[in-house]
A and B are shown apart, each in its own frame.
Chain A
Amino acid sequence: MNKILSINYSLYAGVVLTVLLIFLATFGPALAPHTLTETLRTRYVNGTIIAPPLEPFHSKDYPLGTDRWGYDLLSMILYGIRYTLIISTVVTIFKMTAGTIIGLYVGTWKKSPQWLEAFENAWSYVPLFIILYFFLMPITFDEKVESFILISYFIIIASIISIPSIISSVRKKSKEISKSIFIEAAQTLGANRHRVVWKHIFPQLKETLLVMFILEIVHVIAIMGQLALMKIFIGGTIFRPDSQIYLSITKEIAGLVGSARENIYSNSTYILYIPLITLLMITLSFNLLANGLKNRIQSAYQRTPWIKTGFEPTLVSKRKVYHGKLRFLPSGEKLALIILILAFVGAGTYVILNKG
């Protein structure tokens, strides 16, 4: 059919943007034009005064402008982006691993225990960021504890409190699959529970779990953002009582948004927009990636609807080609992926070599 319409744009855009994010997270501080403590000195250039807050795209030294005290916004973002990505990924790894293992096994039980369902239901009522708010509120402010302790504290609590929802969704999927005939066949042939779970149920869920993993990263970032609106920044909040200023210690992106929130009412709204747009880009790239993967899975497995729904995908399903021709240079998606990895390595080496 129409070839241009049936390209999975969201997958490709998602992959490229995510690789870019990983690049920034790895080499961010090396790329940053200024340190976190350097400020813009007020000075005269050709008769005009240059003073903070400097607007973006006006000066070569400060491409994204400075905040009210003259700190470079671009440098703050480049230093902070690794915290956002690493914290959210680590939380997701913890909760997905625990949730998936428990969910898969509980799903194969004959009857899921009533108390578990009641607990899951009760837990799903309480918004997660409220729980985190109560845990972090007494300890986040005024650098009373080192930020590393605060970060690990956040990671542990955020992972634990979001495990029940993952158990619940994995359990339902696993239960659905364990009703299938091929599970019965495997059990008849003598497969024990571990084999049924890991050789028969888990492979069916692999793709869904991958999509879930990426979406959960976005979810963690959203929780971090909600906390940041409440002035709780991951890694600690510095509070200056004389002028009611809240600052993020780690410069983590959600924290930058939270501390710049008051600028919404001022004339220099870009101080808020720049971290906000960065955060939006981060969440969008993960969402695009997840959406692209979902489209691909859906186009392979979905049954065609009998009535017009308005949600018909335009994608053509990709099938695995076994026994294809052996080629020296791979083509299509594989080639693009190799070029992307080469570009990543090349740009990385360039940054490291030119650090001075």
Chain B
Amino acid sequence: MRILQQAVFIFIIIIFLAAIPAIIEINPLEKNITWNLSQMDQMYVEFIRELARGSLGTYQLGGQVRYIAADITKNFFTSFSILLVGVLAAVVTGLLFGLFLSRFTVTRIINILLNILAAIPDFILIIFSLVLAIKIYEVTGVRMIAFRPDAGALNTWFPMMLTAIAPTLYMFKLIAVKYYQTSGEDYIRTAVSKGMPANYINFQHVYKNIEPFIIAELTKVVSLAIGNLFIIEYLLNVPGVTKFIFQSNQFQPITIGLFSMLLISLIVYFSIRIVLYLFKRGLIYE
């Protein structure tokens, strides 16, 4: 029931958002902002008609008009792979450095580094990484980024890394705080007094109690990753689904773009859930 409600809410938000650029207008005489709601129903009717005809409509890329259906599969998988790798990296590094490895002196340096990075907003980190990549190219000649949309692997791994930054830092901070809080609980004391090793306690007692928080914050993590994906695809000219969203003001491509983004985020969310489930089944007694 709740999932249904959520789906309805998201559907309404997307439909509304996609219509906004067409609704808001500026009255040039009075210099104020007006809302032109009369176009809205017409747009929705046209959108549904287009879908009923079995076509996804067209979008503008530069000067040419292209069919969305012809490009969407490739763009979808580009965005999907970037987002999946980004979120997966976030969960794995967050768990490793926030929980399982955090007590060692060596990893403490990494913890301090992650804490410092977490104080910097993600878009500044993105700009700094761009600068760094360009500097590396200037000094060593090793090419790390490409702005051509057809550059192949160069087009995916750097965006993947950039997308992973913000969710990783968020996840790390969350897990570190929860780990610290949980380790003060009485059941940890019981486990310690029974002489169980630290690793065992981390897996069996701490992780099991932190997992609900990780799952609860997973939507936030995915949303962070999507936000950064939008910016990165725009900045690095990656041929992903955001091409449909930022290239034009039309209702059709924006809606299709947002819905494919939603689909991507849902698939990513559930794959991470599966990974966490397998981890729990494989390594932790039930």
Contact = CB atoms under 8 A, between A and B. Distances in A.
Report whether over half of chain A's contact residues are helix, strand or loop; otherwise say mixed: helix
Given A118-B6, A118-B9, A283-B121, A306 B33 contact: no
A114 interface: yes
A222 B166 CA distance: 12
Contacts of A138: 20-21, 24-26, 249
A284 B116 CA distance: 10
Contact of B184 (A135, A230, A269, A302): A302
A307 B227 contact: no
Interface in A109-132: 114-115, 117-119, 121-131
Contacts of A134: 17-18, 20-21, 254
Given A118-B5, A138-B25, A230-B234, A125 B122 contact: no
A306 B184 contact: yes
Contacts of A137: 21, 249
Nearest to A226: B123
Nearest to B107: A310
Contacts of A32: none
A306 B189 contact: yes
A222 B123 contact: yes
Contacts of B32: 145, 149
B284 interface: no
B39 to A, nearest CB: 13
Contacts of A145: 26, 31-33
B31 A279 contact: no
A218 interface: yes
B28 to A, nearest CB: 7
B104 interface: yes
B124 A283 contact: yes
Nearest to B197: A307
A229 B231 contact: yes
B268 to A, nearest CB: 11
Interface in A222-264: 222, 225-226, 229-230, 257, 261, 264
A92 interface: no
A123 to B, nearest CB: 7
Contact of B183 (A118, A230, A291, A309): A309
**What band does the interface of chain B fall in when counting residues whose beta carbon is under 8 Å from A?**
35 or more
Interface stretch (B64-72, B150-158, B218-226, B272-280): B218-226
B127 interface: yes
**What band does the interface of chain A fall in when counting residues whose beta carbon is under 8 Å from B?**
35 or more
Contacts of B198: 307-308
Given A118-B9, A229-B231, A308 B222 contact: no
B123 A126 contact: no
A125 B176 contact: no
Contacts of A123: 9, 13
Contacts of B122: 222
Given A229-B123, A305-B183, A130 B111 contact: no
A264 B227 contact: no
Nearest to A10: B119
A276 interface: yes
Contacts of B43: none
A315 to B, nearest CB: 13
Interface string A31-68: 00000000000000000000000000000000000000
Nearest to B119: A287
A311 B127 contact: no
B134 interface: yes
B102 A311 contact: yes
3 nearest A-B pairs in the assembled complex, by CB-CB distance: A127-B227, A303-B184, A305-B183
Interface of A: 114-115, 117-119, 121-131, 134-135, 137-139, 144-146, 149, 153, 218, 221-222, 225-226, 229-230, 257, 261, 264-265, 269, 272, 276, 279-280, 283-284, 287-288, 291, 302-312
